[in-house]
Structure 1
Amino acid sequence: MFRPKLLFTSLAALALGACSPQDQQAQTSAALAQQVILPTYSRWVEADRQLARSALAYCSGKLDLAQARADFYAAQKAWAELQPLMVGPLAEGNRAWQVQFWPDKKNLVARQVEQLLKSKPQIDVDVLTKSSVVVQGLTAYEYILFDSNIDLADDATKARYCPLLEAIGERQQRLAEEILASWNSKDGMLEQLSKFPNPRYADAQEAIAELLRVQVTAIDTLKKKLGTPLGRLSKGIPQPLQAEAWRSEASLSNIGAALGSAEALWRGADKHGIRDLLGSDQKELVQRIDAAYVEARQKLDALQPPLSELLASEAGRQQVSDFYDSLNRVHRLQESDLAKALGVQLGFNANDGD
């Protein structure tokens, strides 16, 4: 008589255990790592491989400038998508600076590129890797392809800049491949976000806390990337040359790509996003965050880029300001209400003190 009852009790305990918050967090962390984060890293690698091929083809005369620029846009978009997903090796060892240098308050990119080419006109990737992070990444690549003072239609000018263009392409490919290999290695980030405990996370709640922290920091950074050129941080004086990717006029599209990734982390895949960690008693908060993302995307879609043209008129600045306010709502809802609901202490982020 006791065995069936004991078996029933054990099964009930297992069922309850399977539904525990810790198990749900572990499932969510693993699903986000496998279905949202890792595919984004993989797209970044492919975009950088194409960028390296593109530089070689352009410099050998097999590709025109329009296509070279299109390949740059793709690599830049892939990088922007990583901003809310920057956990693990990419967030360590100054690597993000090696991909993109922003903010460039003193036009260091232009100055250091010119200094480097003057001292090392036939630079290669090995020399570049030992050089300043300012000249290693996409911002320097953008300077070469888009700066109005560089006439790439002139053969001598093109020949001068091409060694650096090729070196940056190869540098970015190597870096991206190194990061992806680290993710997929034994005890790499994919495993650490999927199985607990591990050397990085004592439990799944720590992993979820870091994913939320990185996402919230990234949205705060988007506010800075918009607020700086808008003048929110400079007493209302617009500073369009302080925008990210101002030369390629891709500032708003980069912000859109990053916002999309932040929302992907929130929504997840197959009902395994951060939003699904909230209980039925938090439906109202879920609806508010959902609505905030919808509003932000609608405000962004209503903008007619480039950003520099919007900042040149009062009406345009008001539109950009409205979008900034919508980003701020997304940020604040997740930084305060969502973090509190999940029991997450966000602490300081990378932008504190800026």
Structure 2
Amino acid sequence: MFRPKLLFTSLAAIALAACSPQDQQAVTSAAIAKQVILPTYSRWVDADRQLAVSALAYCEGKESLETARADFLHAQKAWAQLQPLLIGPLAEGNRSWQVQFWPDKKNLVGRQVEQLVIAQPQIDAATLTKSSVVVQGLSAYEYILFDSNIDLADATQKARYCPLLTAIGEHQKQLAEDILAGWNSTDGMLAQMTKFPNQRYADSHEAIADLLRVQVTALDTLKKKLGTPMGRQSKGIPQPLQADAWRSQASLQSLAASLAAAQTVWAGVDNKGLRGLLPAEQKPLAEKIDAAYATSLKLLNDNQRSLNELLADDAGIAQLNAIYDSLNVVHRLHEGELAKALGIQLGFNANDGD
């Protein structure tokens, strides 16, 4: 017997089911932007402001080398935390190269810093913006503070490198402030990840897909940052000087910071991350990804040795292989099962062809 009321109720339920995932994706996109990405960008700005102050204080003799190095490591960690969040302006143009130049297979950082301090001994931040990205960022800053061939205890050497050091600190501060201002502008990334449609995304599903693509690329990059110095691209012969922070011996700390940031996009705040978009029947997948993150982070955080120390013996190499394999599990789960569960076609990632 035909029951119009029942039919109407069924149609309403179907319509609601059809639109609710889209609504949920909009909520999730906005939540990740406001509660995860924006606070991380703000911490990056704070760290770079401190870096600019620190460079000046060190060069004026008001701060020790130890403190200057600690401020650098803080800025480097803040940058590492942004790796899985490079969505929008920071991923466009050559902006991320201005922060960190990696891979540096031919020691361009060292060579170009040396050329620059000879060619422009009194360089400032405005002039630095016209120079190569190789000398504008944290990689060049790290070279000055940590390279074994530079003796900053020698007043002449310190005076030689200080103009560039302060210029880099100021450049990083300005770059970070510009990016954050762009995020918060009327039509900036925060608005584009919150209200749909807009000039960047036709709907919230596109924003979620973009977030996942950035995650997948970042996780793949983490594997490369570990695998390259391990020798996975060089027939098993370790290449410690190909690590992204080999001078400061902070490569594994940066890796852990990046992975922890990726986990925040997955988990979200109040379960408003990518995880919350999975339906109930995908609970086993959610738990699998939870466990993969937990395993990889534990391996990284339990380790007390530097990358160089681990590369020096068989036990250390076994430990690095375990970390690499754990990162690979996290990456493959995002790239495969999670993308499929969320109905996202990933296409090529930014590392393809490397």
TM-score, structure 2 as length reference: 0.96
Superposed, 1:185-264 pairs within 5 Å as 185-264=185-264
Say if 1:88 and 1:173 are closer, same or farther in 2 by CA, change over 3 A: same
Look up the equivalent residue of 2:342 and give its one-letter code.
L
Within 1, Cα distance between the matches of 2:287 and 2:320? 24
What's the counterpart of residue 290 of structure 1? 290
Q: How much does 1:299 deviate?
A: 1.3
Q: 1:13 Cα deviation (Å)?
A: 6.7
Aligned CA distance change for structure 1 residues 51 and 14 (closer, same or farther; 3 Å): farther
What is the rounded CA distance, in whole Å, between the counterparts of 1:268 and 1:15 in structure 2? 28
What is the Cα-based RMSD across aligned positions, in Å? 1.8
Whether the 8 Å contact between 1:45 and 1:176 is mirrored in structure 2 is yes
Structure 2: any 5+ residue segments left out of the alignment?
A: none
Shift of 1:18: 9.9
Which residue of structure 2 aligns with residue 271 of structure 1?
A: 271
TM-aligned CA deviation for residue 244 of structure 1: 0.8
Of 162-171 and 297-306, more deviation after overlay is shown by: 297-306
- AA at the equivalent of 1:292: A
SS in 1 for 2:179: helix
**Alignment-derived partner of residue 311 in structure 2:** 311
**Which residue number in structure 2 is paired with residue 23 of structure 1?**
23
Aligned residue pair count: 349
Please tell me the residue identity of whatever aligns with 2:309. E
Report how far residue 208 of structure 1 moved: 0.2
Aligned 8 A contact 1:49 1:173 in 2 = yes
Which runs of no fewer than 5 residues in structure 1 stay unpaired? none
SS at match of 1:347: coil
CA distance in 2 between counterparts of 1:301 and 1:260 reads 10
Separation (CA, whole Å) in 1 of partners of 2:113 and 2:155: 19
Q: Does 1:68 align with 2:58?
A: no
After superposition, the C-alpha distances for 1:28-74 in whole angstroms (9 at most, x for unaligned) are 00000000000000000000000000000000000000000010001
Q: How many angstroms apart in 2 are the aligned matches of 1:296 and 1:328?
A: 9
* Contact 1:303–1:320 (8 Å) recurs in 2: no
Residue type at the aligned position of 2:301:
D
SS at match of 2:197: coil
| Distance of 1:112 and 1:203 partners within structure 2 | 44
CA deviation profile, 1:227-256 (whole Å, cap 9, x unmatched): 000111111101101001000000000000
Q: Which amino acid aligns with 1:245?
A: A
Sequence identity of aligned pairs in percent? 72
What is the Cα deviation at residue 298 of structure 1? 1.4
Distance 2:233 2:225 in 1: 10
Q: 1:339 and 2:339 equivalent?
A: yes
For the 8 Å contact 1:55–1:166, the answer to whether it is kept is yes
Tell me if structure 2 keeps the 8 A contact 1:124–1:163. yes
1:15 Cα deviation (Å)? 9.8
Counterpart Cα distance in 1 of 2:78 and 2:353: 28
Deviation string 1:263-298 (CA, Å, 9 cap, x unpaired) is 000000112110110001101111111110011011
Question: Which stretch of structure 1 is more off in the superposition, 295-304 or 101-110?
Answer: 295-304
Amino acid at match of 1:50: Q
Which residue of 1 is the match for residue 321 of structure 2?
321
* Equivalent residues in 2 for 1:45-124, closer than 5 Å: 45-124=45-124
Letter in 2 for 1:275: R
